[in-house]
Amino acid sequence: MKDILALTGNEAVAQAMRQINPDVLAAYPITPQTEIVMAFSQFVADGLVDTETIPVESEHSAMSACVGASASGARAMTATCSQGLAYMWEIVYIASAMRLPIVMPVVNRALSAPINIHCDHSDSMGARDSGWIQIYCENGQEAYESTILAVRIAEAERILLPVMVCFDGFITSHAVERIELLEDKVVKDWVGDRKAKYSLLDVDNPLTYGPLDLQDYYFEHKRQEAEAMRNAYQAIPGIIDKFERVVGKRYDYLEEYKMEGAELVVLCLSSTCGTARTAVDRLREKGIKAGMVKLRFFRPFPAREVVGALSKAKAVAILDRSDTFSNRGGPVFNEIRSAFYDNENKPLIVNYIYGLGGRDINVEDIEKVYTDLQGFHKQKKVETLVNYLGVRE
Amino acid sequence: MKEKGWKEIPIAGLIVEAGNAREYKTGDWRTFKPVRDVEKCTDCLTCWIYCPDSSILVSGEKMVGFDYNHCKGCSICAQVCPVKCIEMVKE
């Protein structure tokens, strides 16, 4: 019998963690993630979990403790945002290079400076080269389910990479939604026990984690890491199939909305997708062939699926909630544009950077994007490749 | 030793063979090598305590020699020896 509760995104993720019952949780608070660990701490106090909970002195220590625990065969989790993710930076890269299946909710919050506690994707997008798998969740229900899904993805023997489960700060983390929880036993069966092949506590097979490499072997180890992400791309669909039987929903690499015959398409991530759907509905009512693609997994980057979803469109707007400051647009835009290079059907692809520092994006803003797309499609060209949606000029 | 390809080595930079540092010979890094005057040596084992490379060989609580395959010639043993029986000789 599924429980249906009114929970914030953070509380929903804390429930997922309760049901996963990790061996170790090492965390440090930061807005807007704090409630995840706060709620989880209450579960610890109430004896609902067996987790060894370590309140560490910083996020750098949090990820370090998770690395140590995970290298010892434990199932380790932490949670962070923004400056916290930035603080654990060096260890984040170490966790993936050491092939440790840590699952970490990241409540997307803008990076300083200036200090901003509100939502944008600069934190996790900044970590896109770290070797972590990245899942972007639209709402609390997805955040809850993705956290549970992530454990099996991370620990799959062909993968063995840590996973960031990203969802929007305040928008998703603090908003109360109707959340349907899976039964405790279902989650427990889904995650199973971690069977770590290489554990520091396996005294019969002593080993060393984290040695030095010189010029002669570093490249080979990194080649292996690249192969792991390739394997992840191949293996994740099979895990999604199995998860569909558990949760009744497909967590595909991307999700299409009213894409049948869609000529003008917006691709976005996370909570903005909910807003975009309303814009699509309004436009479709007016007879405009609008569609929306929600990208769930940014790492591994599902180039084939993205091209497949977008290639029949005439004009596509990629919405980025972060900037690369490369002088050439946002991260999602650049990777998608690159994916299209070899494709015969190339729609017009334009970038809208939006929502930085929690700047709101509403249905009218997205409708404006579709109006722009109509113009580009008619003129058969794009005026400005990189646009800033919602900034005051 | 032929260098291995990326498919032939353990993942994650793991060293799965315990204690295999023994096989990696660092003795040729030396410039000076320690030589002991056996007559003067009192087997106090101070050199063994201080050697950072575990290169003082001990057997039956007596100092029996240097592991020249791993000694890097740092001269700490010569400096801490209370009877100054160790001399650093250029190789």
By Cβ distance, the residue of A97, A207, A219 closest to B15 is: A207
Residues A99, B12: C-beta atoms closer than 8 Å = yes
Contacts of A220 in chain B (CB under 8 A): 4-6, 9
What local confidence, expressed as pLDDT, does residue A36 receive?
98
**In chain B, whose CA is at the least distance from the CA of A211?**
B13
CATH T-level assignment (fold) for domain A3-247: Rossmann fold (3.40.50)
Angle subtended at Cα A9 by Cα A310 and Cα A26, rounded to the nearest 5 degrees: 110
Can you give the residue ranges of every domain in chain A?
3-247, 254-389
What local confidence, expressed as pLDDT, does residue A1 receive?
65
What local confidence, expressed as pLDDT, does residue A305 receive?
98
Closest-CA residue to A240 (of A297, A298, A167): A297
For residue B90, how many C-alpha atoms fall within 13 Å in the half-sphere facing its CB? 0
Residues A208, B15: C-beta atoms closer than 8 Å = yes
For residue B15, how many C-alpha atoms fall within 13 Å in the half-sphere facing its CB? 14
Quick: pLDDT tens for A98-124: 999 999 999 999 999 999 999 999 999
Contacts of A217 in chain B (CB under 8 A): 3, 9, 13
What local confidence, expressed as pLDDT, does residue B2 receive?
86
Distance in angstroms (rounded) separating the CA atoms of residues A210 and A200: 11
What local confidence, expressed as pLDDT, does residue A390 receive?
96
Q: Omega into A114 within 30° of 0, i.e. cis?
A: yes
- Tell whether A221 is within 8 A of chain B (Cβ): yes
Residues B13, A227: C-beta atoms closer than 8 Å = no
**In chain A, whose CA is at the least distance from the CA of B16?**
A207
Q: Which of B14, B15, B16, B22 to mutate: most A Cβ within 10 Å?
A: B14
Residues A228, B13: C-beta atoms closer than 8 Å = no
Contacts of B26 in chain A (CB under 8 A): none
Distances in Å between the alpha carbon of A170 and those of A205, A245, A304, A360, B91? Answer: 46, 31, 32, 12, 68
Each residue's pLDDT tens digit in chain B (91 positions)? 689 999 999 999 999 998 898 999 999 999 999 999 999 999 999 999 999 999 999 999 999 999 999 999 999 999 999 999 999 999 8
pTM of the model: 0.93
By Cβ distance, the residue of B3, B10, B19 closest to A216 is: B3
Residues 6+ apart with CB under 8 A from A306: A253, A254, A267, A293, A295, A336, A339
Give the confidence band of A292 by pLDDT, cuts at 50, 70, 90: very high
Domains annotated on chain B, with CATH: 25-90 (3.30.70.20)
Residues A206, B12: C-beta atoms closer than 8 Å = no
What local confidence, expressed as pLDDT, does residue B21 receive?
86
Residues B13, A98: C-beta atoms closer than 8 Å = yes
In chain A, the DSSP E strands lie at 3-8, 24-27, 52-55, 76-77, 103-108, 133-137, 163-168, 176-181, 254-257, 264-268, 290-295, 297-299, 315-320, 348-354, 386-389
Q: Omega into B52 within 30° of 0, i.e. cis?
A: no
Quick: pLDDT tens for A229-280: 999 999 999 999 999 999 999 999 999 999 999 999 999 999 999 999 999 9
User: To the nearest whole percent, how much of chain A has pLDDT over 70?
Assistant: 100
Distance in angstroms (rounded) separating the CA atoms of residues A262 and A146: 28
Query: What is the residue-averaged pLDDT of chain A?
Result: 97
Residues A98, B12: C-beta atoms closer than 8 Å = yes
Contact A147, A18 (CB under 8 A): no
Closest-CA residue to A352 (of A313, A323, A326): A323
Mean pLDDT calculated for residue range A78-87: 98
Distance in angstroms (rounded) separating the CA atoms of residues A119 and A123: 10
Distance from the Cα of A198 to chain B's closest Cα (Å) equals 8
Residues A221, B9: C-beta atoms closer than 8 Å = yes
Contact A310, A265 (CB under 8 A): yes
- Strand A290-295 relative to strand A264-268: parallel, antiparallel, unpaired? parallel
Domain A254-389 is of which CATH architecture?
3-Layer(aba) Sandwich (3.40)
By Cβ distance, the residue of B5, B12, B18 closest to A97 is: B12
Q: At what angle do helices A184-191 and A218-247 cross, to 10 degrees?
A: 150
Is the confidence at residue A20, as pLDDT, over 90? yes
